[in-house]
A and B are shown apart, each in its own frame.
Chain A
Amino acid sequence: MMARRARDERSLSADRRLGAEVRHLSYSGDDESLAASLLSGHPGAPAALFDRYGAHVQRTLASVLGIDDELPDLLHEVFARAFAEISKLEDPARLKAWLTSIAVFTARGCIRQRRRRSWLKFWAPENLPELPENPAPLEAREAVRATYDILERLPERERIAFALRYISGQELTEVALACDVSLATIKRRLRRAKTRFLAMASHDPALVDRLHLQSQQGDSP
């Protein structure tokens, strides 16, 4: 393998001396070989990893945190961390689960940071990006807003488990792996999260009908 890599390098050098533009072909192979390629420094492997799992990681982050302007930075952080820590991947076949756990770890850090420090930020007008229009219908937007209002009030672990299970649609085993707990623990955690969520949702007109709940408006303090 080392000999082949050295040959490839010599070939690339020759191409460069001739002024040729070197294009890397898209990477193909299973997760195990992709992980091995990342470890060995294959030039196409980082792009292949991002192309394969970028959308999944983005969806995972969005499910836990909702969508905001910080999302691209967090997505960047997850992959930067994955590239840097690929040597810590114990089971190359579980590349996706490993990335999910990094995404969960990153999202958790973000939640903690936001809770610990909430800042008023001042930027000059020219530095401020405009908010893109949300294409979803108003009712759907209201439901999204109401859901994340409640998630923000859930304990961090329950929020993450709930989001991965119900919004990201991950299997129980995947959620347990991403949260680095046993299946039994994640089931208990999800049960608590669901109970809390439904109790709070019963006070929110945007969710009562959708979840077929008995409205509890006016009962809250």
Chain B
Amino acid sequence: MTPLEQLGREISSAHDEELEQRGYLGEVRGRLLAPTKGTSRRRFALPALAAAAVALLIASALYWWTSRPLTFDIDGATAQPGQWLAAGDDEALLVRFSDGSNVELRSGATGRVEGLTADGARLFLERGEAQVDVHHRSGARWTVDVGPFELTVIGTRFDVGWDPTSETFSLTMHEGRVRVSGPTVRERVVDAGEVLTVWVDEARVELARPADAQQPGQENPLPEDDLSSPDSNEAGERIPTPTGSSSDGGVAPPDSAHEPTGGEVTVVLRDGAPANSREGVPSWRELVRQGRYGDAMDQVDSHGWETVLERATTADLLLLADSARLAGRLTRSAELYRRLRQHHPGTEAAATAAFSLGRLDFDHLGAPSSAGRWFNTYLTERPGGRFAREAQGRLIEARRDAGDADGARQAAQSYLSRYPSGPHARLARSVMGNQ
């Protein structure tokens, strides 16, 4: 038997053992053959059919209810899937989704939103870096095409990059966990605080774990001197000798003095500066990207609001206002939304601010009258806007809660004429029924 045949046989044995453990055969057998099990059910056929029909109706209604696709805007302007997106040389491009998720294409990055579903979106990152912040909700499903890698994300926030020229993939996890599969890495979990870099051409992987992201109970990071010695990670696996490291604590660049390691996964524990920091002081935008909304507000406080606002674009203003809201600084948030409307009237962002002000009043400040006025403002400015249906529905709620029965009925009538099967349709009919 040749060494190659011996290797193949060992792989086959390893496969058999793993497949036995995974138990796919039984699972698939059950799935394939379950519908054909021959049991006596004929006498239940009619009731079962009736029940199935009812279930189908309910399922259809539920499906319709929950299958509204997301929408998105680019720097405040409504956009459509398929549109090519390119961030400028010196500025980022912010893609905001209606479920609260954001994707920021960093300067020089290109990509597009390929499709939208009720549960998420399909994105394509052609080149460059993007920060992805997926709003966590049950059943969310997002996909991003980014080179030859597949990541299963357990969590919501990370930076990802792909350089097709050098075939370098990078992933910086800020929150949660990611399962990565692709060339060289095969399948690997990356946790919050870890930075994964893959040089596809060299079949080399590096997983850096900055010291500030260590798990409780984990040993102190190895000093740089120890990196040359083989060691074990927490799973007891051999950690191959890293062939290079950067002195700044980040991931070593591909052109540094690395030798190819033939695709071995190198786990490097070392001291490191937090990802994305520049000269140790993250900007408010970086803090927002990291979900540290309170810290971002403190950062703007320390710089001075007027200084920041003087240079703020409409997208910045909207981001600041949203961040203030998420940080619980509701008064500041309302001020920023109003400022946006004042300084950029007639823009999509200004209309969005009106809708957000309505939500702020209704959800947080218990002011339904004011909320109703803002929802109405939004509808006046953007009758076919992406929040129009939601605004029309919330207008019914706001007017009803404010005790404006006539106004609520009027809003309900308008809602039913436009969205007879919309999510607020039942409420609208109920309001109409109280005439």
Q: Is the CB of A119 within 8 A of B145?
A: yes
Taken together as a complex, chains A and B put the C-alpha atoms of A46 and B30 apart, in Å, by 12
A20 at the interface (CB under 8 A from B): yes
Q: Are A16 and B29 in touch, CB under 8 angstroms?
A: no
Query: Are B264 and A131 in contact (CB-based, < 8 A)?
Result: no
Tell me if B27 is interfacial: C-beta within 8 Å of chain A: yes
Binds B, one of A28-36, A88-96, A120-128, A174-182: A120-128
Residues B145 and A117 in contact, CB atoms below 8 Å apart: yes
Residue of A nearest to B20 (CB): A135
Tell me which of A15, A63, A145 contacts B12 (CB under 8 A): A63
Is there a chain A Cβ closer than 8 Å to B160's Cβ? yes
Inter-chain contacts of B238 with A (CB < 8 A): 138
* Contact across chains for A79 and B40 when beta carbons are under 8 A apart: no
Please determine whether B7 and A143 come into contact, CB atoms closer than 8 angstroms: yes
Q: Within the complex, which residue of A22, A143, A197, A205 is in contact with B40, where a contact is CB–CB below 8 Å?
A: A22
Judged by DSSP, the binding face of B is mixed
State which of B146-154, B269-277, B295-303, B322-330 sits at the interface with chain A: B146-154
**Cα distance, A12 to B120, chains bound together (Å):** 49
Which of A72, A79, A119, A125 has the most chain B CB atoms inside 10 A of its CB? A119
Q: Is A196's beta carbon under 8 Å from chain B?
A: no
A79 — nearest CB in chain B belongs to which residue?
Answer: B32
Please encode chain A, from 156 to 186, with 1 for each CB lying within 8 Å of some chain B CB and 0 for all others: 0000000001111100000000000000000
Q: Is B364 an interface residue (CB 8 A)?
A: no
A58 within 8 A of B: yes
B211 to chain A: closest CB distance in Å? Answer: 25
Q: Inside 8 A of A198's CB, which chain B residues have their CB?
A: 4
Q: How far is the CB of B194 from chain A (nearest CB, A)?
A: 16
Contact A124 B140, beta carbon cutoff 8 Å:
yes
Instruction: With CB as the reference atom, state the residue of chain B lying closest to A165.
Output: B8
Fill in one digit per residue for B118-156: 1 if any A CB lies within 8 Å of its CB, else 0.
001011000000001010111111111111111111111
Assess A136 versus B146: contact at CB under 8 Å? Given A122-B120, A126-B138: no
Please provide the chain A residues from 116 to 156 with a CB less than 8 Å away from any CB of chain B in the complex: 117-128, 131-136, 138, 140-149, 152-153
| A221: chain B residues within 8 A (beta carbon) | 201-202
Task: For the complex formed, measure the closest distance between the CB of B148 and the CB atoms of chain A, giving whole angstroms.
Answer: 5
| A210 in contact (CB, < 8 A) | yes
Within 8 A of A (CB), among B216-254: 237-238, 240
Q: Is B203 an interface residue (CB 8 A)?
A: yes
Pair B263/A145 contact, Cβ less than 8 Å: yes
Among A21, A66, A167, find the residue whose CB has the most chain B CB atoms closer than 10 A: A167
- A135-B21, A145-B186 known; A217 and B150 CB under 8 Å? no
B335 at the interface (CB under 8 A from A): no
Residues of A within 8 A of B179 (CB): 128, 131
Q: Are B8 and A205 in contact (CB under 8 A)?
A: no
- Say yes or no: B8 contacts A167, CB within 8 Å: yes
Q: Is the CB of B24 within 8 A of A71?
A: yes
* Residues on A with beta carbons closer than 8 Å to the beta carbon of B146: 118, 120
* Residue in contact with A136 in the complex, picked from B4, B18, B136, B240, CB distance below 8 Å: B18
**B279 CB contacts on chain A under 8 angstroms:** none
Known contacts A46-B33, A58-B24, A194-B4; decide if A121 and B151 are in contact (CB<8 Å): yes
B22 near A120 with CB under 8 A, answer no
- B182 located at the interface, meaning its Cβ lies under 8 Å from any Cβ of chain A in the complex: yes
Q: Which of B123, B149, B264 has the largest count of A CB atoms less than 10 A from its CB?
A: B264
B1-57 interface (Cβ within 8 A of A): 3-12, 14-19, 21-22, 24-25, 27-29, 31-33, 36, 38-40, 42
- B183 x A153 contact (CB < 8 A): yes
Q: Is the CB of A63 within 8 A of B15?
A: yes
Contact A207 B16 (CB under 8 A): no
- Check B143–A122 contact: CB distance below 8 A: yes
Q: How far is the CB of B208 from chain A (nearest CB, A)?
A: 20
Confirm or deny: B366 has a beta carbon within 8 angstroms of a beta carbon on chain A: no
Q: Determine how close the nearest CB of chain B comes to the CB of A177; give it in whole angstroms.
A: 19
In this complex, what residue of B is CB-closest to A71?
B24
Contact call A59/B136, Cβ cutoff below 8 A = no
The answer to whether A80 touches B32 (Cβ under 8 A) is yes
**CA gap between A204 and B260 in the complex, in Å:** 9
Complex interface: chain A residues within 8 A of B137 (CB): 124
Residues 38-66 of A at the B interface (beta carbon under 8 Å)? 43, 46-47, 50-51, 54-55, 58-59, 62-63, 66
Chain A positions 1 through 42: 1 when the CB is less than 8 Å from some CB of chain B, otherwise 0: 000000000001001100111111000000000000000000
Q: Name the residue among B6, B184, B201, B260 with the largest chain A CB count within 10 angstroms.
A: B260
Interface pair A211/B4, CB less than 8 Å apart: yes
Docked CA distance A146–B25 (Å): 26
The reply on B406 being an interface residue by CB < 8 A is no
Given A120-B143, A122-B156, 18 new contacts (CB under 8 A): A21-B39, A50-B28, A59-B15, A67-B15, A76-B32, A83-B32, A118-B146, A121-B141, A122-B120, A122-B140, A122-B143, A122-B152, A131-B189, A136-B17, A140-B10, A149-B203, A197-B4, A203-B203
Task: Enumerate the 3 nearest inter-chain pairs by beta-carbon distance, A residue then B residue, closest first.
Answer: A204-B262, A120-B144, A166-B8
26 sampled A-B residue pairs with Cβ under 8 A:
A22-B40, A24-B38, A46-B32, A55-B25, A58-B19, A59-B15, A62-B15, A120-B132, A120-B153, A121-B143, A122-B134, A122-B152, A123-B153, A124-B138, A127-B139, A128-B152, A131-B189, A135-B17, A140-B14, A143-B7, A145-B186, A153-B183, A167-B15, A197-B4, A198-B4, A204-B262
